[in-house]
Chains A and B, each alone.
Chain A
Amino acid sequence: MVLTLEEIFETANMVLRHNLNIRTTTLGLNIKDCINSDFRKFRSNVRRKIVRWGEELVRQAEKLEVKYGIPIVNKRVAVTPVSIVMEAHCEYKRFIEMAQTLDDAAKEAGIDFIGGFGALIQKGLTRSDTLLLESLPEVLSRTKRVCAFVNVGSTQAGMNLDAVNLLGPMLRKTAFKSANGIGCAKFVAFVNAPEDNPFMAGAFHGIGEPDVTVNVGISGPGVVRSVVEKNQKCDLTQLSEIVKRTVFKITRAGELIGRELAGNMKIPFGIVDISLASTTAEGDSVARVVEAFGIERIGAHGSVLAIALLMDAVKKGGAMASGNVGGLSGTFIPVSEDAGMTEAVEKGALSVEMLQCLTSVCSVGLDMVAIPGSTPADVISAIIADELAIGIVNHKTTAVRIIPVPRKRPGQKVDFGGLFGTASVMAVNRYSAKGFMKRGGRLPAPVTGLKN
């Protein structure tokens, strides 16, 4: 055999025992060519394009699952930011109808989530952007599959505080319109949003992208944890090496499947996102990786160092494995979607403040964080602004997916169902930054952004 028994056993075991899977294959779909002055025709073009490509994605992905024996958990579609294609149809009602079209098309194609109902508003809002934001509470509570995003800042543009100030009230409205505030789980506020991110809820098909492309997100916290557990005595440099080597292997699987999928669909291959992405499955948790490092519970002092090490090793291993590494790549630490994170909140090990510290060294941000439904809108906006400032200053993608859960108090549990998992509601600071936030305007781009 050209391969050793150990190597084959290692790969098979990753799938069989440590939840290795392809977390998502996300089709990026340009819908600018669907635009028509007749809104009915416009919607039917959008529906047709999504269904045609979505069905093909599902069909081809299922073939590869069989060939490589690796589950491809999610098949998704991300479209051009909807506010761009709706510029000539600026009516509230039409935004709702377009969202419904996306939802129906996704369902028809067998897609669980469709991303891109969003806007790039880092420097200001067009009429279409404004209407899109206004439509979000209804869209997020009425549709099942539509995911929304806004990009409210970047290291080059600074932060649009006026836009951030609209998000707090919007999220509260959305929360009170949907059971347990679940509508908010389908909305992400970004700075430095990548145009080729395959992960929901923030995926969209950037305007610099080709007509159709496929991006892949891998998983693997369970695999990394099992390797770390076997190496209890090594120092940080060795630990980093072990993680790097493991992530290299996982990423290679993603690269193979992404390339073959794109080849079979006759479309260009986009990127592999090398983030470690947790799920609610026991063991498939980034928190458990950190615990395997030797930290009692994630959130304990020392956790920032641990995440910094993990994040860097993941990037280095992934970068070696693929020539097309995507923009987000690093480590996700969603609260409700990661059993270890949820547990840490329950036990009082992890607070919102510590979580924010962790996000300053990891790739995403405050993700799937449940807060009390009574949190005032201006406090929600301020939490978002704080978190996104970290991203702007540190030249990194940072996002916030926060859920004010109606009628829930800190410490109470909330079940979001399915992939969204269970969260323990986190306490937020009871003092306000209202006076500061209402100044509005734009945070100037940091001096480190002036690199031209």
Chain B
Amino acid sequence: MDKELVFITVIGKDRKGIVAKFSTYLYRSGINIEDISQRIMDKYFVMVMLVDTHSANRTLDRIGRDLARIGKSMNLAVQIQHENIFKMMHRI
């Protein structure tokens, strides 16, 4: 099975429930979390999730909008991007 790997980057201020909210949504959407990590960078709380959207039950467009809405409710910026762009930018 081919994976469709997408990075979800969440940037903002740390608070309770971030991982819980995002992972609940991803679970309901049929998306598997392959990897997750978080750290404080540039004074920002940064969380990155690597997810496989191959068997997602909704479109990437919809997922992007939903995650942005969840992010907004917690004052967080959310960006979802296919893994190819990172490979192009950071690997020669």
Chain A residues proximal to chain B, CB less than 8 Å: 1-3, 5-13, 15-16, 66-70, 249, 252-253, 255-256
Residue with the highest number of chain A CB atoms closer than 10 Å, among B48, B60, B83, B89: B89
Residue with the highest number of chain B CB atoms closer than 10 Å, among A3, A7, A10: A3
**Contact call B64/A3, Cβ cutoff below 8 A:** no
Q: A66-B61, A69-B81 are in contact. Are A9 and B41 (CB under 8 A)?
A: yes
B-chain residues with CB within 8 Å of residue A6 when the two chains form the complex: 41
**Contact call B48/A1, Cβ cutoff below 8 A:** yes
- Of the residues A8, A13, A252, contact of B88 by C-beta under 8 Å: A252
Q: Does B31 contact A (CB under 8 A)?
A: no
**Contact call B35/A255, Cβ cutoff below 8 A:** no
A7→B90 CA distance, assembly (Å):
7
A249→B86 CA distance, assembly (Å):
9
A-B contacts, 7 listed (Cβ < 8 Å)? A5-B37, A7-B86, A11-B86, A12-B9, A12-B79, A15-B81, A252-B89
**Contact call B79/A67, Cβ cutoff below 8 A:** no
B-chain residues with CB within 8 Å of residue A69 when the two chains form the complex: 64, 79-81, 85
Q: Mark B23-41, 1 if CB is under 8 A from A, else 0.
A: 0000000000001011101
**Contact call A253/B50, Cβ cutoff below 8 A:** no
Which of B39-62 touch A at CB < 8 Å?
39, 41-42, 46, 48, 50, 60-61
B-chain residues with CB within 8 Å of residue A256 when the two chains form the complex: 84-85, 88
A-chain residues with CB within 8 Å of residue B38 when the two chains form the complex: 5
Question: B-side binding surface: helix, strand, loop or mixed?
Answer: strand
**Contact call A11/B37, Cβ cutoff below 8 A:** no
A12→B7 CA distance, assembly (Å):
10
Distance between B18 CB and nearest chain A CB, rounded to angstroms:
15
A2→B50 CA distance, assembly (Å):
10
**Contact call A67/B82, Cβ cutoff below 8 A:** yes
Residue on B nearest A259 in the bound complex, by CB = B88
B-chain residues with CB within 8 Å of residue A3 when the two chains form the complex: 7, 83, 86-87, 90
**Contact call B88/A253, Cβ cutoff below 8 A:** yes
**Contact call A9/B89, Cβ cutoff below 8 A:** no
**Contact call B60/A16, Cβ cutoff below 8 A:** no
Which of B61-92 touch A at CB < 8 Å?
61, 64, 77, 79-90
**Contact call B37/A16, Cβ cutoff below 8 A:** no
Residue on B nearest A14 in the bound complex, by CB = B89
**Contact call B9/A8, Cβ cutoff below 8 A:** yes
Given A9-B46, A13-B42, A67-B81, 5 more pairs with CB closer than 8 A = A3-B7, A5-B48, A6-B41, A16-B79, A252-B89
A6→B38 CA distance, assembly (Å):
10
A67→B83 CA distance, assembly (Å):
9
A6→B39 CA distance, assembly (Å):
10
Distance between B7 CB and nearest chain A CB, rounded to angstroms:
6
A2→B88 CA distance, assembly (Å):
13
The 8 closest A-B pairs by CB, nearest first: A12-B9, A69-B81, A252-B88, A12-B79, A249-B89, A7-B90, A256-B88, A66-B61
Distance between B11 CB and nearest chain A CB, rounded to angstroms:
7
Residue with the highest number of chain B CB atoms closer than 10 Å, among A10, A12, A15, A253: A12
A-chain residues with CB within 8 Å of residue B35 when the two chains form the complex: 1
Q: A3-B90, A66-B60 are in contact. Are A11 and B48 (CB under 8 A)?
A: no
**Contact call A67/B60, Cβ cutoff below 8 A:** yes
A-chain residues with CB within 8 Å of residue B50 when the two chains form the complex: 1
- Of the residues A8, A16, A67, A70, contact of B48 by C-beta under 8 Å: A8
A-chain residues with CB within 8 Å of residue B83 when the two chains form the complex: 3
A69→B8 CA distance, assembly (Å):
10
Distance between A54 CB and nearest chain B CB, rounded to angstroms:
21
A-chain residues with CB within 8 Å of residue B11 when the two chains form the complex: 9, 12-13, 16
A-chain residues with CB within 8 Å of residue B37 when the two chains form the complex: 1, 5
A13→B48 CA distance, assembly (Å):
12
A12→B81 CA distance, assembly (Å):
8
B-chain residues with CB within 8 Å of residue A253 when the two chains form the complex: 85, 88-89
A-chain residues with CB within 8 Å of residue B41 when the two chains form the complex: 5-6, 9
**Contact call B48/A68, Cβ cutoff below 8 A:** no
Distance between A145 CB and nearest chain B CB, rounded to angstroms:
27
A-chain residues with CB within 8 Å of residue B79 when the two chains form the complex: 12, 15-16, 69
B-chain residues with CB within 8 Å of residue A252 when the two chains form the complex: 88-89
- Of the residues A2, A5, A11, A255, contact of B81 by C-beta under 8 Å: A11
A7→B46 CA distance, assembly (Å):
12
